[in-house]
Amino acid sequence: MDNVCFQQRLRDLETRVRKWKFLKLGLTEVRLRPRDRRSTSVDQKHKECSSTSSSPQHQRPNNIGYLTSPMERKFTPLTMKPSPSRRDTEKDALEFEFLEGCKKSGTLDIDGVKQAVDPNEIHIIGLLGSGSCGVVESAMVRSKLMAVKTMYKNDNKENLKRILRDVRIMSLCNSPFIVTSYGYFMFNSSVKICMQIMAACCEKLLRRIYHSKLDFFPEFVAGHIVYSAISALDYLKEKHSIIHRDIKPSNILFDDSGNIKLCDFGISGFMTDSMSHSKSAGCPPYMAPERLTIETNSKYDVRSDVWSLGITVYQLVTGLYPFPLNDMEFTTLTIIANLNLPSPSLKKETTRSFSPLFIEFLDFCLRKDVRERPEYKQLMKHDFFLDYDPASGDYYKLKTINGNTNQVADWFNDIIKRSKTEDELKPIPNTPCVN
Ligand SMILES: Nc1ncnc2c1ncn2[C@@H]1O[C@H](COP(=O)(O)OP(=O)(O)OP(=O)(O)O)[C@@H](O)[C@H]1O
């Protein structure tokens, strides 16, 4: 290998590792900062209620830096700090969008009625989950049970971008396969999105199943997940030119009636020419090979989400992440990105049997070479997808065979009954720990 080629390869590898480390250290640190945790208290919420009028630009930054470990702070070179005289126009635009958003803050659409709600009327009941950007809690607002996602604003531009994207996209969407937003509240240092409450995400369900030694997701549930997720992703693409970019088990939710919906648009992107041009971080273990390669990671399309859905479904039906994780993280990404190494396939699965249609469908989703991977419209013509389409006769046949009106709801409620809530927090070996 000549020297130029070797140097290029080294830079490539270094960038990939830095991206993953950034996600794991940087964003996770933000989630765990005690200062942020404190601000979830009811007192803090009340303090913030009247704070939307003052400009966030005149505030002191509420954190010292994005990477918050003392080591990282100590060694941040001074030259990395932007000069105060140089204006960051993108950040100014984001702050402006934030202030504009404040105008609609507090107007909730509850059961078709738009109403001005005071933040004091949010009565938190308990924690539903937490992610890299905030916490989700159940709450009662004017007699309506809802999920309230609180995201903390800091001085970091990426953090602000992420919050605004989540708010904007949640407000735009109107699909039975996407969690409904009722509205939001914007404060100086945090944002709350009020949304439809769901019963559990696939990640929690998988943990319950694993620790209670139950059977992993059956094929028919995987079929409903595929149908709902692809319908949601196709809606986002066709109606709003949006690519999700963060498909993984924790972002696919079930309600008690067996409905399956997508959530979390914090790192979604708007596409131009059907391509995404942003390098925003996603969750590396679920990222498509083309997103892990330096030459292509700034230009990719919806087929990257098809890959992430394939990995997610593979994991749900087998209980296993299909790549080795017990090695260095870097090695996992290299195996995914190497097109010469084979893709995972349910064909090789020995402990459970799946229909040839399902195996073929997942093989299509998991084609490493993006040029060979189908887009949504092609997947929607596949017989496995059509079997779960309510407009197709086969779906109803499936229901009658089992003499059951809602098999997914029955399966879901049975898992909840036979497993323990505390298992939702226990990780599964050899599976990415993303929340
Ligand atoms: N509407 C909802 N109803 C019930 N639970 C929810 C709802 N939305 C989210 N959750 C729970 O909260 C968890 C975290 O939510 P979310 O993924 O939106 O946060 P996040 O900070 O954007 O996370 P990350 O980016 O790490 O995926 C979810 O995995 C899910 O378990």
DSSP letters of 11-57? HHHHHHHHHHHIIIIIIHHHHH-HHHHHTTSHHHHHHHTTGGGS-GG
Query: CATH for 91-195, among 1.10.260.40, 3.30.200.20, 3.40.640.10, 1.10.3470.10?
Result: 3.30.200.20
Range in 6-10, 35-39, 342-346, 393-397 with the lowest mean pLDDT: 35-39
| Average pLDDT of every residue of the chain | 79
**Per-residue CA distances from 366 to 331, 362, 382 (Å):** 19, 6, 15
- Comparing 334 with 66, which gets the higher pLDDT? 334
Please report the atom of ligand 1 found closest to the CA of residue 264: 18
Does residue 246 have an active-site annotation?
A: yes
**Beta-strand pair 200-201/181-186:** unpaired
Give CA–CA dist 89/336, Å, rounded. 37
Name the one residue in this structure whose structure tokens are 């067996």.
Answer: 258
**Ligand 1 centroid, distance to 131 Cα (angstroms):** 6
- Tell the burial category of 177 from Cβ atoms under 10 Å away from its Cβ (0-12, 13-18, 19+): buried
**Ligand 1 centroid, distance to 149 Cα (angstroms):** 8
Do 200-425 and 91-195 fall under one CATH topology?
A: no
Point out the catalytic residue in the list 166, 246, 264, 387.
246
In the β-sheet with 190-195, what is the strand arrangement from edge to edge?
Answer: 122-130, 134-141, 144-152, 190-195, 181-186
What per-residue confidence (pLDDT) applies to 36? 38
- Tell the burial category of 36 from Cβ atoms under 10 Å away from its Cβ (0-12, 13-18, 19+): buried
CATH hierarchy code of domain 200-425: 1.10.510.10
| pLDDT tens readout for residues 262-287 | 998 887 876 655 566 555 567 889 99
Mean pLDDT in residue range 90-110: 90
From 154, 192, 421, 435, the mutation candidate for ligand 1 (largest count of ligand atoms within 8 A of CB) is 435
Residue 129 in contact with ligand 1 by CB distance below 6 A: yes
Q: Is 228 helix (H, G, I), strand (E, B) or coil?
A: helix
For 195, what's the count of Cα atoms within 13 Å in the CB-facing half-sphere?
Answer: 30
Q: Domain coordinates of the chain in residue numbers?
A: 91-195, 200-425
ipTM over 0.90: yes
Q: What angle do CA 6, 10, 11 make, to 5 degrees?
A: 120
Q: Which residue's CA lies nearest to atom 27 of ligand 1? A: 131
Residue 195 in contact with ligand 1 by CB distance below 6 A: yes
| pLDDT tens readout for residues 184-237 | 999 988 999 999 999 999 999 999 999 999 999 999 999 999 999 999 999 999
- Comparing 18 with 89, which gets the higher pLDDT? 89
DSSP letters of 323-341? S--SS-HHHHHHHHH-TTS
Q: Is 126 helix (H, G, I), strand (E, B) or coil?
A: strand
What per-residue confidence (pLDDT) applies to 132? 80
Range list of H helices, 366-421: 376-379, 383-386, 393-401, 407-418
Residue 197 in contact with ligand 1 by CB distance below 6 A: yes
DSSP letters of 241-257? -EE----SGGGEEE-TT
Please report the atom of ligand 1 found closest to the CA of residue 204: 31
Mean pLDDT in residue range 132-153: 95
Q: Which residue's CA lies nearest to atom 29 of ligand 1? A: 250
φ, ψ of residue 269 to 5 degrees: the values are: -140, 155
